[in-house]
Amino acid sequence: MKTATLKMFLLGAVLLIAHASVADNMIMARVPLRAEIVLEYVKASVEEHGYTVAHLQLCDGGMQDFGYKSDFYRVVFFGKVDEVRMVSEHYPELVSYLPLKIAVIAEKDETLLTVLNPEALAPFFPDEALQIQLGRWQSDLVSIFNDVRRAVGARIVSNH
């Protein structure tokens, strides 16, 4: 019960965010376009940043079990093989955070993007090399979200 309540609380917090932002623990953006289209922009930007999309998970049914109604909920799993191997080898406690994941959630005519801010893990790992890696991931994730917003903005402007 506590896990379900925590998940609903976190999801509610995500839904209150109106624009792209970096919170302490989450990076989020609300995009004024259908989720199917936004998902394609996310995958393209992930690959343009040198990452490989490892898996696309459909989560619609699982979210309905928590009482959340969405006709589109996907998680994009992605990473760079060498980075994932290095971090997994030296920091096995971080394996559950890898590969990186972006949630793509339909919200009426908009799409919500959300991801764990890797720098939220930094206080727990004083190693300088890992601090640099977490910072790079955070920077790349913000850049990916900004790419999606720019691409969507260009699409919206060109449709008017």
Residue 124 confidence (pLDDT): 93
The conformational region for residue 72 under phi > 0 = left, psi -120 to 50 = alpha, else beta, is: beta
Q: What amino acid is encoded at 125 in this protein? A: F
Q: Domains, the chain, ranges and CATH?
A: 19-158 (3.30.310.70)
- Which phi and psi angles does 86 have, rounded to 5°? -60, -50
Please, what are the averages of pLDDT over each run of 10 residues along the chain (160 residues)?
43 38 77 92 98 85 64 91 96 95 91 94 94 96 94 57
Residue 112 confidence (pLDDT): 92
Residue 107 confidence (pLDDT): 85
Residue 72 confidence (pLDDT): 83
CA 131/CA 21 separation, integer angstroms:
21
Residue 114 confidence (pLDDT): 94
Residue 52 confidence (pLDDT): 97
Report DSSP letters for 106-124, one per residue. Answer: EETTEEEEEEE-GGGGGGG
